[in-house]
Amino acid sequence: MMNEPPPSGENTRAVHLPPPPVPGQAPIGTPVWRTAAFSFGSSQEYADVLGDRAPGYSYSRVDNPTADAFADGVAALEGTRLSAGVTGQAFASGMAAISAVFLAFAHTGAHVVAPAAVYGGTYGLLADLLARFGVDTDFVDMTDLAQVRAAIRPQTRIVWAETLANPTMAVADLPALAEAAHEAGALLVVDSTFATPVVCRPLEHGADLVVHSATKYIGGHSDATGGVVVGRSELIAPVRAVRIETGGMLAPDEAFLLRRGLETLPLRVHRQCDTAAALAAAIAGHPAVAKVDYPGLPGHPGHEIARRLYDAGPEGTRFGAIVTITPHGGYQAGMALADGLRLIRVATSLGGTHTVVSHVASTTHRQMDAAALAAAGIDPGAVRFSIGLEDADDLIVDVTNALTAVPRTHEPEGASIPYAGDSR
């Protein structure tokens, strides 16, 4: 082949350009393998790679090197203190990752135990979509171990938890939940989006799988969407199979951005946690505030569990960077608080460099009716603050000014909740 003359047709020459060089030196930055397909030396090699009988890449819906580099990075951070190997799978969004876990392990007739205060997208998936396919779910207070144990059945396949609940910031007692799940032969799967590996690594506390919406803190700049599942290889294999069959693969350009975010994750999250603690402490006593949900406050129900499970640095325990503020006055007061902010933005998602807010009942938990919100302990006026990288004093002034202008109204019964998104 090497001695054959080059093709003479201009179109053929344009298509069959010389291959790019493969450097012998390791790149500092992550290469972006922006290709849908890979070629092979033979048909047998193609068949073996596609059939997982030989290592390699065939098609980027199946596997992509940049996506694998990202998933491997998250697995390394989550499994840093574990002797057993941890692997991961990357997805196009956090909800794609969450869906793949349930599709892999919760078949028709299976039962799931999940938090009453679960993220709204997870609630909708379980209560609506998966219920149509014969998956039954009990939503319980995950901070009450007796409730969790009472809800578990012989058919229970997954106990689902959130390291830090969205938006109540309830703290999951991961070792106790792992014990309860494993006694019943179920998996403990933890959505650790709010915590990140910088705050807590659930695999160290008995979890079987960890899920992240990488769109949030892992990416960190509100410019990429993705999700990831990490855990032991034998549990990741069926998750990968679902990803391949359903097509929820992470694109290589997004994978590059998300992996880049891992390199600054500790620096950003340390700062965000410090600022969140300062804001929560400053606002907790404001006369317009009914409640501040932040586990760094000594009065928070999960404070001691967080101190036991979460990482600590020179600044003390890291309690996360989400602060949920509930003003007096119900639904309309919460909307007024969000709209009264000037520096802080009303925006979708969280975990980026900018501090942003969502009025919970009308956005992130719009799938829940009034009864479900009440069962989850979510007040209609609750406003979730995702703390960014601004100076704490500037944020405190902005929130204080907005609270001063909040009217003391009460939400009438049956008020409608408009649509807005907080995608994972």
Confidence of residue 412 (pLDDT cuts 50, 70, 90): very low
The average pLDDT across 169-187 equals: 98
CATH number for the domain spanning 364: value is: 3.90.1150.10
Residues 245 and 298 in one domain: no
List the single range of 1-5, 222-226, 287-291, 416-420 with lowest mean pLDDT: 416-420
165 within a domain of the structure (yes/no): yes
194 within a domain of the structure (yes/no): yes
Which strand ranges, in their side-by-side order, compose the sheet holding 356-359?
289-293, 322-327, 383-386, 356-359, 345-346
Residues 88 and 134 in one domain: yes
Round to whole Å and give the CA distance between 314 and 384.
27
Backbone CA torsion sign across 78, 120, 378, 343: positive
The string of pLDDT tens digits covering residues 183-211 is 999 999 999 999 999 999 999 999 999 99
Round to whole Å and give the CA distance between 114 and 99.
14
Burial of 359 (0-12, 13-18, 19+ CB in 10 A): buried
Question: Residues 52, 57, 61, 311: which is the catalytic one?
Answer: 61
Residues 137 and 226 in one domain: yes
Question: Residues 63, 68, 173, 191: which is the catalytic one?
Answer: 191
117 within a domain of the structure (yes/no): yes
If you ran DSSP here, which 8-state letter would residue 402 be given? H
26 within a domain of the structure (yes/no): no
Does the pLDDT at position 329 exceed 80?
Answer: yes
Structural domain of 186: 43-260
Residues 222 and 281 in one domain: no
Active site residue 123: no
CA-derived radius of gyration, the chain: 23
Burial of 371 (0-12, 13-18, 19+ CB in 10 A): exposed
Instruction: Choose the final residue of a domain: 260, 288, 322.
Output: 260
Residues 300 and 191 in one domain: no
The predicted pLDDT at position 86 comes to 96
Q: Is 247 left (phi over 0), alpha (psi -120 to 50) or beta?
A: left
167 within a domain of the structure (yes/no): yes
Residues 304 and 235 in one domain: no
Q: Where in 28-155 does DSSP place strands (E)?
A: 87-91, 111-115, 136-140
Residues 193 and 275 in one domain: no
Round to whole Å and give the CA distance between 127 and 269.
32
The predicted pLDDT at position 373 comes to 85
Q: Does the N-terminal peptide bond of residue 167 adopt cis geometry, omega within 30 degrees of 0?
A: yes
Instruction: Choose the final residue of a domain: 198, 225, 260.
Output: 260
Helix (H, G, I), strand (E, B) or coil at 139: strand
Residues 212 and 324 in one domain: no
The predicted pLDDT at position 418 comes to 37
Nearest Cα neighbor of 117 from 149, 88, 140, 83 is: 140
How many structural domains comprise the chain? 2
Confidence of residue 424 (pLDDT cuts 50, 70, 90): low
Q: Which residue has the higher pLDDT, 203 or 408?
A: 203
Residues 108 and 233 in one domain: yes
The average pLDDT across 147-170 equals: 96
The average pLDDT across 291-309 equals: 96
The average pLDDT across 127-140 equals: 97
Active site residue 393: no
The average pLDDT across 231-241 equals: 98
CATH number for the domain spanning 126: value is: 3.40.640.10
The predicted pLDDT at position 3 comes to 63
Round to whole Å and give the CA distance between 122 and 68.
25
SS3 content of the chain, % helix, strand, coil (to 5): 40, 15, 45
Residues 376 and 398 in one domain: yes
Contact 174, 145 (CB under 8 A): no
Instruction: Choose the final residue of a domain: 260, 293, 314.
Output: 260
The string of pLDDT tens digits covering residues 15-52 is 999 989 999 999 999 999 999 999 999 999 999 999 99
Does the pLDDT at position 423 exceed 70?
Answer: no
The average pLDDT across 306-311 equals: 96
The predicted pLDDT at position 417 comes to 40
| DSSP-assigned states of every residue in 261-278 | HHHHHHHHHHHHHHHHHH
The predicted pLDDT at position 421 comes to 39
Question: Residues 63, 157, 173, 216: which is the catalytic one?
Answer: 216
- When the pLDDT of each residue in the chain is averaged and rounded to a whole number, the result is 93
Give the CA distances from residue 123 to residues 364, 396, 398, in Å, rounded to whole numbers and listed in that order: 11, 32, 32
Residues 337 and 377 in one domain: yes
- Per DSSP bridges, beta strands 312-313 and 289-293 are unpaired
Active site residue 119: yes
13 within a domain of the structure (yes/no): no
The predicted pLDDT at position 95 comes to 97
Give the CA distances from residue 173 to residues 150, 162, 179, 357, in Å, rounded to whole numbers and listed in that order: 16, 10, 10, 27
- Per DSSP bridges, beta strands 156-162 and 187-191 are parallel
417 within a domain of the structure (yes/no): no
Burial of 414 (0-12, 13-18, 19+ CB in 10 A): exposed
The string of pLDDT tens digits covering residues 342-377 is 999 999 999 999 999 999 998 878 878 888 888 888
Nearest Cα neighbor of 420 from 371, 364, 381 is: 364
Question: Residues 63, 119, 201, 243: which is the catalytic one?
Answer: 119
Give Dmax (Cα) for the chain.
84
The string of pLDDT tens digits covering residues 270-279 is 999 999 999 9
Active site residue 308: no
232 within a domain of the structure (yes/no): yes
Confidence of residue 315 (pLDDT cuts 50, 70, 90): confident
Residues 341 and 242 in one domain: no
